[in-house]
Structure 1
C-alpha cells in the first residue's frame, strides 16, 4: 500500500523526538508545531499555534529583539543556533538549544526551529570530573555571565549566559578583548580600563567596576563586573584573568530615579552623589577661573562588610550615620561633604592647598579611629582609608581628579588600610 508524500512527511513531523516549530519571521507567530513541542512546554495546541514565539521563549524580549535575531537567521545562510529557556505550563523553565533555518515556499519566507531539551546534557556537564570545567560551570551558573581572558593571545571566552544577557547567539561574539572593549559606554571606558589594568599590574587586589555595556540592540545595560588574576607564568606575570558579570540595570534605574527626587542621601543626610557631580564641576570651574587649588578626598570604611555580616545591615546603617555626623562636624564650613555610595564618602575642599587637605584627612582618620561605640556592643572601633587628589597637580577635569583619588584610595587599602595616600602626579 502506497503512502502519499504529504502523509509521510506529516507522520515524520509528528513523530520527531525534538520540538519543531514553523514560524512566520515577520510576526514571530507559530504557524504549526509537532506533538513533541506541545509536550515540551505542557500546553495544548490552541495555546501555542498562532501565538508569538515570544510567549514561549524567556530570553527573547520584544519584537525589536526578535527582528534582530530574524535578520541573523537570514544572514547565517544555514543554521542559526540559540541557547535559551522555554516557559513550561507548570512555571518551570526548559533549557533548550534552538536551531533555526530560513526557507522560501511559494514566494513566502518561513523559519523552521528545532528546540532540543538540553536539561539532561547540562546535568551531565555538572558531573564532569575536569576541575577547570567544573569551576567554569559553577561560576557561570552563579552569575549572569562569565568571561575568561587569556593575556597571552588576547582571546576572551564569553559564557553562553553572558551572550544571552546581551541578546547574542552562542556563536556571535568574537572571542577577543576588542569585542568587549568596543561595547563599553564611552563615558565609562577610561575608568573601567584603568581599574582593570591597575589590577593586572598588582595595584588593586581585584578588578571591580560598575558601567554601561551595549547589548545587541544598541541599548546599554548597567553591569557589575568583577574579576581577578587566576593564573601566572613562571616569572609571576599574570597570564589569565577570570571574571563575572551581573546585570544591575533594574537596580541602577531605581537608584537614578531616587537620585532625581532629592539632593540629599536619605540615610546619612549628606549631599548625595548626583549633587556631588554638579557641585564638584561648579567648584572646579571657579578654581580654574581664579587660579585656586582644589582638593578631592575620597575615603571609605575599612572592612565595612564585616560589620554588616557580624551585626546586621541595620547596625551598618547606624555606623554610617554616626560616621557621617562626626565627619560633618570636623570639616570647614566651606567644604562640601558627600556620601558617594555604600561606605564611601567624598570631601571637596575648594581653595585649600595640598597641605591643608592632607592634614584634614589625617585629622578625620584619627578622629574616626578614636570613636567609641557603646551603641554597638562588641564593636571595638573602626578605621578609614583615604585617597587625596589635588587640582591642578593630579588632573584638570573632575573625572581625572576622581580617578586619581580613587587610585590613591586603593593604594591606601593595599598598604594596610587606616592611612592617607596622596595621588601620584598626572
Structure 2
C-alpha cells in the first residue's frame, strides 16, 4: 500500500480524537457538546489536511524519480534477479535497442545477448551480482542483430517487492573498436620492426618522443645511446636542401587530417654522409589532433644513384647519337668530295697537292670526332 505509514498515523490521530470526544461527552454530558463538536471538526479538518499534504509530498518523490529514470539519456533498466526478466526500461533503452516498451517487458537479459555469451552471463550473474555493486564491459545485441559493446553499472534494488538489479548501460563501442585497432596496430608494428632491416619508428606527436627499431643502426650507424629519441633529432638530420620541403609536406598532411604520408629526401648518417631515403608513415588523430605517427624509413640510396647513372648514360647515348648523325657526317662528306676532285692523270700537281692538304685536315677532324666518341663510351662503361 502506497503511503501506508502516513495513513496509519492519520487514522490513529482520528481514533484518538474520537476517543477523547466520547470520553468528554460521557463525563460532562451534552452541555459542552457544541464546543466539543467545534473542536472535533477543527481537529478532523487538521488531520485530513495533514493527510492530504503528506500524501502529496510523498507522492511527488516517486514521480520525480520516474521522470529522471525515463528521460535519462543513457539506457537504463530494472530486471528481476531470479528470472532475469525486464521490469522497467527507460526511453533511451527503447531507442538504443530497437524494442518498444511492451516488447522489452516480455524479454529477459538473455534476449539482448548472443547465444555464445549466455553461459558467461549466467555465471557472472550467479557469482558477482549478489547484492554488491558491479561494473563490467559486455557485448549486447540490438533487435536488428547489430552487436555493440556497453559498460554495465549494476546496483542491487527492490522493485515492488521483487529482488531486482538496477542497470545503466553506457555505449562504449567506439572506444572498444578504437582500442582493438590500436592493439592490432601495435602488434603489427612489433612484428614489422623485428622482421625488417628498415628503420621503423613510433613518434608520439604530443610529447615529441620517438622509439626506433634496430634499423636505425643498420642503415645509418647510429647507436641506441645517441640522442635519437626526439622528433627534433630527426628534423635536424634531414639534408638542408630538403628540410623545408619535408617539414612543409608533413605539416600540410596533418592540417588536412590525412592518414598517409610519404616523401623522399636525404638523411644524415652517423659518419656525416647523406643517404637518399623514402619515408612512409601512418598518422593517427584524436578529435582531429594528430597524436601518433608510425612509419618506416627505407634506404634507396643505391637505387637513386643507379637511376641518376642511367639518366646520365641516356644523356651520353643521346649525345653520341647526335655526334654520329651530325658531326661525323661533315668530315666524311668532305673526304668524299675531295677524293672526287683528284687529277688522276697527275698532270695538275698543284691541285692534287691542295686537295691532299684538305683531305688531311678532314681526316684529322674525323679522327678527333672518333676520339670524342671513344671518350664518351669509356665514360658509359
Per chain length, whose mean CA-contact separation is higher, i.e. which structure has more relative contact order (CA < 8 Å, sep 6+)? 1
| Length-normalised TM-score, structure 2 | 0.33
Give the number of the structure whose residues are more often strand, by fraction.
1
TM-score, length basis structure 1: 0.30
- Of the two, which has the highest radius of gyration? 2
The structure with more helix, counted as a fraction of residues: 2
